Structure 1
Amino acid sequence: MDLPVFYAPDILPEATAYTMNEDTSKYCIQVLRHEKGDKVLLADGRGHKFTADITDDNRKKCVVRILDRETVPPPARALRVAISFTKNAARIEWFLEKATEIGIQTIIPLVTQRTEKEKIKAERLQNILVSAMLQSQQFYLPDLQEPQAFDKVIKHHHDPQRLIAHCLPEQKQALRDVLQPGKDTLILIGPEGDFTPDEIKGALEEGFVPVSLGNTRLRTETAGMVAVAIIATSF
């Protein structure tokens, strides 16, 4: 059986012991019913994996002893998505959770002309990312960046593979057909109502490749999920 993973963002690489915060301690001891002597894993979200055992099963200040530590190799290639957040927060939260489970590295909230929601609840979204990272037994926490204007993203992000998914009936290829496995990838996912023609034109002028995600019109969060799944499985 896999050992449970707990988030330890402030643990030092050379630590020999660690005290979980109150929320994590309560979850470990009271909810999961772990006790003194049980082994657990700790993740700092930066690729460090710690194997430990519980030395004090206090439900407010659980203390563990570090038995082993290792650095998990980072993903060979970066997967970044710039996505316009939806007015319905639950939908984008679902995307963040599932994209983290699949293995996304960076999420950029994209502010377009038709974006319905420009402000984000960073702390809540960060908690969703942490929970998904732990649940999927990963050790790198995705980077949730500050919201960025569309023009800034297309001009200042220079990933080797830059893509834009849009719905206009213009010439574009299926995402799977244009992917070049092994290259860092940034894909733009638009808001409900799609990117404007001027935004699409601007992206293409900056070297973005237009792609299709299928024959049906997808909601924003669904389009994001389809893109992440296709790109991740091409690596």
Structure 2
Amino acid sequence: MQLFFTEHTNENQFTLDAEESKHLIKVLRKTQGDRVHFTNGKGCLYHCIIIDANPKKAIIKIEEREFQPEDDYYIHLAISPTKNSDRMEWMVEKLTEIGVHEITFMESEFSERSHLKLERLEKKIIAASKQSLKTWLPKLNPVRPMNELVQDSEFNSYQRFIAYVDKENDRHLFDKAKPDNAYLILIGPEGDFSNQEIQLAFDNHFLPCSLGKSRLRSETAAVAAVHTLQLINNLKEL
């Protein structure tokens, strides 16, 4: 199955823009009468048919709507963005494929970057969701100060973790997280969190966790953390 994205959620028939039409008709060689699948990124899977294979404005008709429920757990990753924007784009793409639910970029003491092109990252999320056949798009948040984030009462019901490098911080996230929960995990910049930031997280009931013995780049640590939480929740079903 190939999956496409549309925001036309309340219509039985919609027209694709020129870019999407060209991709569907010219690149993928779809023709009138072919059946295709779309999602709105909010859990709906649309079973559709192409009724006009115009490469500039293809017309799509929805034949059936199917709702796919959200996971019974929720992974929110907060990370200080790195200086290299390409690495952040790679990270967002891979986190989407693995199965993150929300990403917040945060400003910490040793942050290397405070501005991100969120529109470009959103496009990466949509492309990765289509590739990995996901009907729920992760939520993407702009940069937010770390001290504000860790003190936000919204996360009081979450399992909260801070991952950082320390020889005494040797208990892996896999051993600390419990399935069927909402999680907030903090990943610092290349220079890691400051001691004051780590203490602030502890004061707000964040637990320290390790992601293994290797020293990881920030974006690699983010991928490892989300994969670990996905693994914990998928193993319970075996």
TM superposition score normalised by structure 1: 0.96
Question: Post-superposition shift, 1:174?
Answer: 0.9
Counterpart for residue 114 of structure 2: 118
Over aligned residues, Cα RMSD in angstroms? 1.0
- The answer on whether the counterparts of 1:82 and 1:108 sit within 8 Å (CA) in structure 2 is yes
In the alignment, is residue 152 of structure 1 matched against residue 167 of structure 2?
Answer: no
AA matched with 2:216: L
Partner secondary structure for residue 173 of structure 1: coil
**Contact 1:108/1:147 (8 A) holds in 2:** yes
User: 2:97 matched to which residue of 1?
Assistant: 101
Q: Secondary structure at the match of 1:28?
A: helix
Within 5 Å, which residues of 2 pair with 1:20-99?
A: 20-99=16-95
Q: How far apart are residue 158 of structure 1 and its match?
A: 2.6
The equivalent residue for 2:209 is 211
Equivalent-residue separation in structure 2 for 1:158 and 1:24 (angstroms) = 42
User: Are positions 1:17 and 2:13 aligned together?
Assistant: yes
Displacement after TM superposition at 1:173 (Å): 1.4
User: Which whole-Å deviations, capped at 9, do the CAs of 1:180-216 have from their partners, x for residues lacking one?
Assistant: 1111111000000100000000000100000001111
Aligned-partner Cα distance in 2 for 1:118–1:10: 33
**Identity percentage of aligned residues:** 36
Counterpart residue number, 1:167: 165
Summarize the Cα distance change of 1:159–1:94 in structure 2 as closer, same or farther, 3 Å threshold.
farther
In structure 1, the partner of 2:139 is 143
1:178 aligns with 2:150: no
SS in 2 for 1:147: strand
Instruction: Name the SS of the counterpart of 2:77 in structure 1.
Output: strand
CA distances 1:44-92 after superposition (whole Å, capped 9, x unpaired): 1111111000000001111111110011111111111001111011111
Q: How big is each residue's C-alpha offset from its partner over 1:93-149, in whole Å with a ceiling of 9 and x where there is no partner? A: 111101100111000001101110111101110000000000001111110011110
Preserved CA contact (<8 Å) 2:42 2:137: yes
Report the Cα offset of residue 17 of structure 1. Answer: 1.1
Task: Return the letter of the residue paired with 1:67.
Answer: E
| Aligned mates of 1:158, 1:190 — CA distance in 2 | 21
Unaligned ranges ≥5, structure 2: 234-238
AA aligned to 1:16 is: N
Q: Structure 1 residue 34: deviation in Å?
A: 0.4
Question: CA offset at residue 172 of structure 1?
Answer: 4.6
Which of 115, 123, 127 matches 1:127?
Answer: 123
Amino acid at match of 1:104: V
- Find the aligned partners of 1:126 and 1:96 in 2 and give their Cα distance: 9
Query: Is the Cα contact below 8 Å between 1:100 and 1:133 reproduced in 2?
Result: yes
Query: CA contact under 8 A between 1:159 and 1:186: conserved in structure 2?
Result: no
> C-alpha displacement at 1:171, in angstroms?
4.0
CA contact (8 A) 1:11 1:18 kept: no
Provide the aligned length of Structure 1 versus Structure 2. Answer: 231
Shift of 1:16: 1.6
Q: Quick one: distance in 2 between partners of 1:5 and 1:215? A: 38
Secondary structure at the aligned position of 2:106 is classed as: strand
Letter in 2 for 1:82: A
In structure 1, how many angstroms separate the alpha carbons of the residues matched to 2:157 and 2:140? 17
Which consecutive segments of 4 or more residues in structure 1 shift more than 3 A? 169-172
Matched with 2:220 is: 222
SS of residue in 1 equivalent to 2:83: coil
